[in-house]
Amino acid sequence: MRIGILTGGGDCPGLNAVVRAIVRRSVMEHGSEVVGFLEGWRGPMEGMVMPLTLQGTGGLIHRGGTILRTSRANPFKCERGPEKIAEQMEKHRLDALIAIGGEETLSIAEEMSSKHKLNVVCIPKTIDNDLNSTDFTFGFDTAVNVVMEAIDRLHTTAESHNRVLVCEVMGGNAGWIACYGGIAGGADFVLVPEKPIKLKEIAESIKKRHARGRDYSIVVVAEGAHLEGDKAQPPPTVNGNKRTGIGERLAKLIEEETGYETRATVLGHIQRGGSPTAFDRVLATRFGVKATDLVHEKKFGRMVALQGNLVVDVPISEGIGKIKSLDMDLYGVAEVFFS
């Protein structure tokens, strides 16, 4: 077979590990050839391709980002987008496409599969871990480790200055990164989009904590979290951009309510950069191998997923349309350590 690959949407650590795994499995096990489309869905529309060989994809497992580059290009928002993709698939004699991406990339793939009969298999990725049908996406563990290390560093300086430090992390729709990172880093409060922020309660808890002699506090807040009763906050939507500056705003409000010096740190894209953790390298590799095998079994319109410790495949439609919100039992574990 001849297979095309693309990486779409925001990047995350582990994308290159997937590319490496697909090429290795395709060439060595199935005797197939692989080409990479560049810059997400722009590649198969504009015919931007690069050959992917064993030699060219060796030594990639540790590298962050994506050698295929990425974009948020959407063929359904471009003139003749789906037709152009069909033409390029034919021009490059491709039998199938493996699309690696988040909610938007997967939604496009589903429509290309169901309405335009493209032979496509998907691999879910996002640092946010908010895709349905899979327990974990690669990139998430790396992001959580970045958050944990940042909180470790914030702890020592917060303690030295008797300050409240607010740490804003990614997660526009779901609080997975905030919750895992906050638990691992020993945060004193974790605030997530799933639960409106009760400013007065938090301020009271911080005051009590400081009265007990703990003269500093670490507050982790997901970028999509919002204050209770805050009308300015748009409701969560799939693919919504939730950068409302909640970290800075919250720091100002906490300082006003408590009288304690409070500063904000926004971790931003640091959470998406750098080398993947061992967990993400292994998950990305397992997903790549499984997706390659699905293509060769001609099981199109499917996406790979981690359920428990098993890599399975489900219809692409099961992974899209609705975000996977934070498990509130897990949030309950974070709450044990609040104040």
Has 128 been annotated as catalytic?
yes
Identify residues 203-262 at the interface with ligand F6P (CB under 6 A): 223, 242
Residue 151, helix vs strand vs coil: helix
Q: Which of 171, 185, 288, 319 binds ligand F6P (CB under 6 A)?
A: 171
Q: Which of 126, 129, 217, 292 binds ligand F6P (CB under 6 A)?
A: 126
Nearer to ligand F6P, 180 or 216 (CB): 180
CB atoms within 10 A of CB 35: 18
Q: What count of other Cβ atoms lies within 10 Å of the Cβ of residue 76?
A: 13
Q: Does residue 205 contact residue 338 with C-beta atoms inside 8 Å?
A: yes
**Residue 128 found at the interface with ligand F6P (CB under 6 A):** yes
Nearer Cβ to ligand F6P, position 205 or 275? 275
- What is the C-alpha to C-alpha distance for residues 335 and 339, in angstroms, rounded to an integer? 9
Q: Which is nearer to ligand F6P, 164 or 166 (CB)?
A: 166
Binding mask 274-313 for ligand F6P (x = CB under 6 A): ----------------------------------------
Q: Which range in 25-33, 81-89, 166-174, 308-316 contacts ligand F6P by CB under 6 A?
A: 166-174
Restricting to residues 58-87, name those near ligand F6P by CB under 6 A.
Answer: none
**Among the options 128, 130, 188, 280, which is catalytic?**
128
Give least dist CB 260 to ligand F6P, A: 29
Residue 312, class by beta-carbon neighbours within 10 Å (0-12 exposed, 13-18 middle, 19+ buried)?
A: middle
Sign of CA dihedral 252, 255, 256, 257: positive
| DSSP code for 265 | E
What is the rounded CA–CA span in Å between residue 45 and residue 35?
14
Q: Which of 145, 242, 133, 262 is nearest to 194 (CA)?
A: 242
Q: Which is nearer to ligand F6P, 34 or 73 (CB)?
A: 73
33 forms beta bridges with 2
Active site (catalytic) residues: 128
Q: Which spans of this chain sit near ligand F6P (rule: CB under 6 A)?
A: 10, 126-128, 170-172, 223, 242, 272
